[in-house]
Structure 1
Amino acid sequence: MNNNKWIDISQPLTNSIAHWPEDTPFTNQLTYSKEQTGSVNIGQMTTSLHIGTHVDAPYHFDNKGKKIIDMDVNYYIGRAKVIDVSDVDVIDGRVLEDFSLDGVERLLLKTSLKSRPELFPEKITKLEPEIVPILVEKGVKLLGVNMPSVDPIDSKDLLCHHALHQHGIYILENLVLDDVPEGDYNLIALPLAIAEGDGSPVRAVIQPTD
């Protein structure tokens, strides 16, 4: 393996990508063709900010929280660790005890959910809020998951979202980790500079460091 090669772990944004129920779907179309303009093709898109691989800003679940433009971009760039937790339905403190996480700043969880961008899942692996103090103790400042949310699909209280925010841990969702082995990587998952955004789609890529 070429250890310098970057690996795309983002869901491609297509007109058939699944979206949160009752949320705005992603659409991309050509506004003007090269034939019409005489020089260029010009496209447009309409989308929820929580489509595909994306990050949440605290404003998404807290009216007083930071918006995406205010988030520290350094949290989205740097060393990351992928761990495989695909053998459990609930991730609690005991699950994390099986992994060496000391000094891990960005933790990416590979759950049992397979990447099927055109199908919105009815159920996902549950994260217990009790893991958040453990992540803080280990030094984690960003948590990424290969699921559309860090809370259950039908959750209204969003306990993990609030617990992560309370402890200053950033949230990255809908990663594609099917073919990614456990290990240490460099991560880049920069959001767009959306001034009033409660989140943003990202192009997430990792680079093996082993």
Structure 2
Amino acid sequence: MGEWIDISQPLTDKIAHWPGDKPFSYSLTASKQETKSVNIGQITTSLHTGTHIDAPFHFDSNGKTIEQLDINLYIGKSVVIDVSQANTITAEVLSQYHWPSEINRVLLRTSLPNNPERFPDVLPNLDPNIAPYLQRLGVFLLGVDMPSVDAPDSKDLVTHHALQDHGIHILENIMLDQIKPGEYELIALPLHIHGADGSPVRAALCPINKEDAQHDK
């Protein structure tokens, strides 16, 4: 395998956040000059800023919270698929792609440019009919290079619920602009935040095949 590639959005004070949500901020609460030994920092943020996973509790008050999820969901073989030619991503669009049956994590590279400092007004549409299709293929994790699997102004979150109903977990805001389609090992571990509806992750890919070892230029 090749080297690990970071596909996380960098958490800086410039990172975009959901309108009305808590923006990310890092600051020192104490300096080494003050403590005579160490610098001590703190962060404030929404759990859905930057690259993150959604726990079912995020959109279902009876759903599992972060610490109740199996971390093995977020470690293992994955496939990156380029669906950037489609404004609406349906089961029919996904049926054009094929990957080994043992790969259960699908990451979608959409037409949305990866710009961590801008919150997009419009997202490519993920049709909820992808959920039963992916379930039939044994997929249990869907990653997207967008802040949500539903439209930013959605209140019913149809695709979130469809994915949950079909046993598929959600990884959002990954950075795939420079990643070639292909097979990869994925690590996107959430923090162990008890009772949380989501968690930031440090997501990374490692190419399984030599031909996928280089980034797109």
Q: TM-score range by the shorter chain?
A: over 0.9
**What is the CA-CA distance between 1:102 and the residue it aligns to?**
4.9
Residues 1:33 and 2:31 aligned together: yes
| Partner AA of 1:173 in structure 2 | E
d(CA) in 2 for partners of 1:80, 1:19: 27
Helix, strand or coil for the counterpart of 1:164? Answer: helix
In structure 2, the residue matched to 1:143 is 142
Q: Which of 67, 75, 78 is residue 77 of structure 1 equivalent to?
A: 75
The C-alpha deviation readout for 1:122-160, integer Å capped at 9, x for no partner, is 001100011111100111010000000001111111011
In structure 1, the residue matched to 2:116 is 117
In structure 2, the residue matched to 1:152 is 151
| Partner AA of 1:114 in structure 2 | P
Helix, strand or coil for the counterpart of 2:163? Answer: helix
d(CA) in 1 for partners of 2:90, 2:99: 14
In structure 1, the residue matched to 2:87 is 89
Residues 1:181 and 2:180 aligned together: yes
In structure 2, the residue matched to 1:53 is 51
In structure 2, the residue matched to 1:4 is 2
d(CA) in 2 for partners of 1:93, 1:76: 23
| Partner AA of 2:173 in structure 1 | N
**What is the CA-CA distance between 1:101 and the residue it aligns to?**
3.7
Identity %: 57
- Structure 1 residue runs of 4 or more that deviate by more than 2 Å after TM superposition: none
* 5+ long unaligned stretches in structure 1: none
d(CA) in 2 for partners of 1:102, 1:65: 30
In structure 2, the residue matched to 1:21 is 19
Helix, strand or coil for the counterpart of 1:116? Answer: coil
Q: How many residues align?
A: 208
Q: CA RMSD in A?
A: 0.8
* 5+ long unaligned stretches in structure 2: 210-217
Helix, strand or coil for the counterpart of 2:189? Answer: coil
In structure 2, the residue matched to 1:201 is 200
| Partner AA of 2:12 in structure 1 | T
d(CA) in 1 for partners of 2:82, 2:121: 21
| Partner AA of 2:72 in structure 1 | N
d(CA) in 1 for partners of 2:159, 2:192: 25
For 1:151-170, list aligned pairs within 5 A. 151-170=150-169
